[in-house]
């Protein structure tokens, strides 16, 4: 079993990177990613397979990560496991002395990060990509039936007796309004 790596192992000297390609196959400690707030957890460490290579003065990062998430389905409220494959694609450019970050962002793009002190830190882009991959409404499956709005039974399993008269609640309101008049 390989040991997981921390922040220090994700810092690279630009001087080393400019001489040639560096291949990475790392297990990133799950403690590097604070996802608790999202209601999602990591079942284990994150596998990163990537390469860093120079392109003129820039350092290009390409690769992918496998993230072992444990999510709670927004429809049936059950937790489920999913291994997300997340692509990584980023460019690191030297921060020019005296130039404001805003001016630099103008001429670059959203995928460009700046490095300082001769070191490239790939952790921020890894974190951003993991956080961005977390769905707003996780679903255990595309066609999860969720729970019955009336009795709360899980409609994926045994279901309940209300399932057969599955009526849009808005129509229900109309029906009862008409019944009263």
Residues that bind Zn ion in the complex, under the rule CB under 5 A: 73, 75-76, 140, 144, 148, 150-151, 153, 160, 162
Nearer to Zn ion, 90 or 138 (CB): 138
What minimum distance in Å lies between the beta carbon of 178 and Zn ion?
A: 24
What minimum distance in Å lies between the beta carbon of 72 and Zn ion?
A: 9
What minimum distance in Å lies between the beta carbon of 4 and Zn ion?
A: 30
The closest of 11, 57, 4 to 30, measured between CA atoms, is 4
Nearer to Zn ion, 128 or 166 (CB): 166
Number of separate helices (H) and strands (E) present in the chain: 4, 8
As a whole number of Å, the end-to-end CA separation of the chain is: 72
State how far the Cα of 142 lies from the Cα of 53, in Å rounded to an integer: 38
Contact between residue 52 and residue 60 where contact means Cβ atoms under 8 Å apart? yes
Nearer to Zn ion, 86 or 162 (CB): 162
Nearer to Zn ion, 26 or 73 (CB): 73
State how far the Cα of 146 lies from the Cα of 73, in Å rounded to an integer: 9
What minimum distance in Å lies between the beta carbon of 133 and Zn ion?
A: 19
């Amino acid at each position: 079993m390989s040991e997981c790596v921390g922040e220090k192992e994700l810092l690279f000297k630009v001087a080393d990177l400019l001489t040639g390609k560096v291949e990475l196959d790392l297990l990133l400690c799950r403690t590097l990613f604070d996802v608790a707030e999202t209601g999602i957890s990591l079942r284990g460490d994150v596998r990163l397979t990537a390469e860093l290579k120079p392109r003129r003065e820039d350092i290009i990062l390409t690769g992918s990560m496998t993230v072992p998430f444990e999510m709670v389905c927004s429809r049936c409220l059950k937790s489920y496991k999913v291994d997300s494959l997340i692509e990584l694609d980023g460019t690191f450019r030297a921060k020019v002395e005296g130039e404001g970050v805003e001016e630099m962002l103008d001429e670059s793009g959203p995928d460009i990060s700046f490095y300082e002190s001769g070191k490239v830190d790939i952790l921020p882009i890894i974190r951003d990509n993991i956080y961005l991959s977390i769905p707003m409404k996780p679903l255990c499956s595309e066609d999860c039936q969720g729970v019955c709005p009336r009795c709360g039974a899980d409609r994926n399993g045994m279901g309940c007796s209300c399932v057969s008269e599955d009526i849009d609640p808005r129509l229900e309101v109309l029906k009862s309004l008409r019944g009263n008049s």
